[in-house]
Structure 1
């Protein structure tokens, strides 16, 4: 019978007379379909087509060869046990009909009915047989469903990408349910876990060092019945697993199913991403800090620029004040030197004070980077020797001075006066840091600086002057602000806070650098890096010659908005023998030139309201291109980029005379006594 055949019809085999027709009629009257078979072979064909039960007479099987029927019955599927109703002639059971034993052995599921019988009895028996057959069909359906489910499970089990296993808990040496064995595992298990042939293996044998953790996890699932989902590293193979576990029912089986997959690559990616995020956060923090530092540096630079502008303006005003003072004292000194020695000495002292004021202003201009440095090749060893006495007298007897200079030190391209002031300034700072005495060392050497070794300094050869002391030193906070203008740790009235700022500004102007290193209790080391000079060192010192140059008298137009400066300058020019026409502004001077006054030379102040000296010179060039122009400035130290001869305030009569001589004797060398 085909597996899909479900039939409740009756097959009737009764070869004697009309027995088959009568039996079929009785069954039909009871609502049961019946098919009459004329032989054992046709019965077997009917069985193959499907039947609910078989009604057969004893004489039909008494002498027949039952082997085909026996083979058919033996070949029934596991769910099938075909019922037979056997009509006997005498006796219904084995006790009254011994021949029935043979029939029972062949037919198996057989009910005996002795003839004659009442139709109701027959119908009752066949209906009972049909009920049993229906239960067999139901079992067949459940078996088919179960087998299909098993097939689906097996297919899924074998082909699923995730690792899958069934584990069974057992009692172990560590107590009840302290170990488990793998009873099933799919092919993907090894691929994800990295452990082959796990079926039959106990977890404490597989991964003894980490078995406790796995047992605790899965035993919790077994005892609680609650499924879990988690991630865990299988340390034995170094793999990160994502797992789900649930209990296999019934509880008494002590089994847990586990589904998992290898997420090592994802985990590594997450770790890499987290590390990248942390790196990015650090980089962002560093960038923010760098930006903040840059903003602070910009703020400091702007502050320095503002202070520089203020200082330059103050220096300009002071130079304007010093110019008439210096000029008047110079004139008085020339007139009284021969017949009033006492007056000459007083005026000479005043001139020296004015010169010191000029030097102070030049230092302010140096800080403001508005002074034209008079750089030249200078022998640093000679300069240090020359300034040694001044430093010694400035630092006092409680401090020992040591001057060290390397042999064959190349000349440096510097302004000697400014460098002397810088060394003196650093020495005084060192003195103030050694209240109870100490050692001050000034050392000069030839050094090679690599790129980025010193901030703001290009790679190359330099002369380095190091001024070091054994004083109290500075904290990191003080060191960070040491070169800030007007910052000072000294008491009020004992320091301006400009000293280190001026040294720093001088180093920058010279194309070098200035660095400070210090620590509390370890003294301070100030280093000046100075560029090398291409030529031979010249002798240090300034000429004090005050010889007046003799020239033909000139008609000079003098323009200056400062009345005292203008009057003082005019007097010096007139004493030199020149005719001076004064103008209080650039516009007045221009009007006098336009009016046609005979003028041999225009001397003009640079900073004037309305029209400055450069603008005036430009207009004059349009009117009289051949008219010489001398610009006097107290603001930029004679370093204006205007293409005109310049004279720096304050000046003495001899300085003015030399400027006029150079202006009208272009290309000529000054007389020896006036150089």
Structure 2
């Protein structure tokens, strides 16, 4: 019979042989060594139990015990075998004194308590012993295989549990993001509806205010002397009427800014100069207990925005900060920094397109806002101030102004930790685009692209009044003139041109040919918010209709100061 090799069962451990009488232990050891099976002979039953205790016999291949070694009681051995791990059923080979002998009382109950028992009667043939040991080792090898399978199942279960937990967390994050997106959509729809309502009301109210102010001006012009002769009461009444109408017009402008319908005159602004001027103006206006600070690094890029509207926004934010301060005062900080919003950036600011911006902020050390108040802060007419101290239009106006300027607004606030309002405004595309090169000749020349005969004639008339030469052309003709090298100091184009012609696309094509040629787009009240926002990001200047000679001359002085 071929002997077993040690490599057949490399991880089963030794066979423990307990045969304390005669030469049985030595002979069994010799036979098993010939099979390539390692053995170990404990000194007694107590020593055998000590070998089994650490891991319940998991590192033992089998037990080979003479029946007489159990004569003194095997309760300790039974207790050790009961501690085996679930996968283990340690083979026990008992060398009996002969199956026909009656033996001590409880003999068979003892054998049953040992579990996986094989009985070999003596006298014992060597081949019988080898066969019994091979069977025991094969059974033990299957148990170890079961152990490996159970371990693999346990690891798979743990891995599956971890994957389920990971996926559950991912699903929870997706649900949270979906819920947040729905809330942002709901808020955007609500704000859009409010904006449409506010814009309609503002237009009607603005017309009424304009009529009242015009009537007051007419009364003063025609009947000023009579009113003065009537005494100071009449003049005070007229002044009160004018003040009320002007306040109404101011509210209308804020509503129009919130609904993004007010026309903006974007120009290049130096952030440091702008904020420095505001600090000097607000240092005393905010009160003696309010400290005004400036955080502006050197070398800031130029931003593109309507100066008057931006100053109004910053002043309103400073006043809001002052009103949030405790009675003993606090600090308002104006700051500016350049920032690039890249595609896929981790910074998530609603409505902020990728591009180069100047980030302005107004931070205070006031009371701050809770989450519910913060969520409604940019709604028109929402205010936490007393009824006679606020209209609730400051933040909504700032939000609308930032969006219409091609940027965005973001609020950060916590109760007791103050509020920080951040505005992202586009950087000026380049100083070369802001200035025209004077053309040699007696008069500066403007290239006028307008398909409406009446407005085209009116624009040309206004240009002539300002000392300019006007050359009228269609979009294609304008590009052809530039390709021939015709000298021009200004492009003046109407935003609504025939189908297929886009004023912004035309301006881009002109800029590709003449990078230093200023482009002014004439836009009426029906020009979309997307159009004005895109024009602001492109660095194009919007001249709002109706155009007056004075307004056009102001634009020419601003954007072409060296041409006239």
Normalising by the smaller structure, the TM-score range is 0.5 to 0.7
Aligned equivalent of 2:168: 284
1:216-247 CA distance string (max 9 Å, x none): 9998796489989844xxxxxxxxxx322476
1:503-559 CA distance string (max 9 Å, x none): 3443343333434444554433333232211345999xxxxxxxxxxxxxxxx9xxx
Give SS of 2:323's match.
helix
Contact 1:479 1:516 in 2 (8 A): no
The one of 201, 225, 237 aligned to 1:317: 201
Q: CA deviation at 1:326?
A: 0.8
Aligned equivalent of 2:303: 412
Aligned equivalent of 1:365: 256
Contact 1:401 1:439 in 2 (8 A): yes
Query: In structure 2, how many angstroms separate the alpha carbons of the residues matched to 1:631 and 1:510?
Result: 15
Aligned equivalent of 2:418: 523
The one of 397, 402, 426 aligned to 1:507: 402
Question: C-alpha root-mean-square deviation of aligned residues, in Å?
Answer: 5.9
Q: CA deviation at 1:375?
A: 2.0
The one of 134, 155, 158 aligned to 1:271: 155
- The 5 A counterparts of 1:211-610 are 211-214=53-56, 223=78, 230-231=85-86, 242-245=87-90, 250=108, 257=116, 259=140, 260-262=143-145, 263-264=147-148, 267-268=151-152, 270-327=154-211, 329-330=213-214, 333-334=217-218, 336-337=220-221, 340=224, 350=241, 353-388=244-279, 391-392=282-283, 395-436=286-327, 437-447=329-339, 452=345, 454-456=347-349, 461-474=356-369, 477=371, 481=375, 483=377, 485=379, 490=384, 493=387, 499-536=394-431
Q: CA deviation at 1:340?
A: 0.7
Aligned equivalent of 2:123: none
Give SS of 1:467's match.
strand
The one of 191, 197, 200 aligned to 2:41: 200
Contact 2:364 2:418 in 1 (8 A): yes
Q: How many residues align?
A: 398
Rate the CA distance shift 1:509–1:280 in 2: closer, same or farther, 3 A. Answer: farther
Contact 2:407 2:425 in 1 (8 A): yes
Q: CA deviation at 1:455?
A: 1.8
Q: Which sections of structure 1, spanning at least 5 residues, go unmatched?
A: 1-150, 172-181, 191-195, 232-241, 540-555, 557-613, 619-629, 649-654
Contact 2:198 2:256 in 1 (8 A): no
Aligned equivalent of 1:18: none
Give SS of 2:214's match.
helix
Structure with max Cα Rg: 1
Q: CA deviation at 1:381?
A: 3.1
Give SS of 2:331's match.
strand
Rate the CA distance shift 1:387–1:305 in 2: closer, same or farther, 3 A. Answer: farther
Query: In structure 2, how many angstroms separate the alpha carbons of the residues matched to 1:464 and 1:368?
Result: 22
Rate the CA distance shift 1:502–1:164 in 2: closer, same or farther, 3 A. Answer: same
Query: In structure 2, how many angstroms separate the alpha carbons of the residues matched to 1:404 and 1:538?
Result: 27
Contact 2:412 2:419 in 1 (8 A): yes
Query: In structure 1, how many angstroms separate the alpha carbons of the residues matched to 2:31 and 2:243?
Result: 107
Rate the CA distance shift 1:517–1:367 in 2: closer, same or farther, 3 A. Answer: same
Q: Which sections of structure 2, spanning at least 5 residues, go unmatched?
A: 21-27, 64-73, 95-107, 117-138, 229-233, 436-453, 455-495, 500-521, 534-541
Rate the CA distance shift 1:349–1:532 in 2: closer, same or farther, 3 A. Answer: farther
Q: What TM-score, normalized to structure 1?
A: 0.45
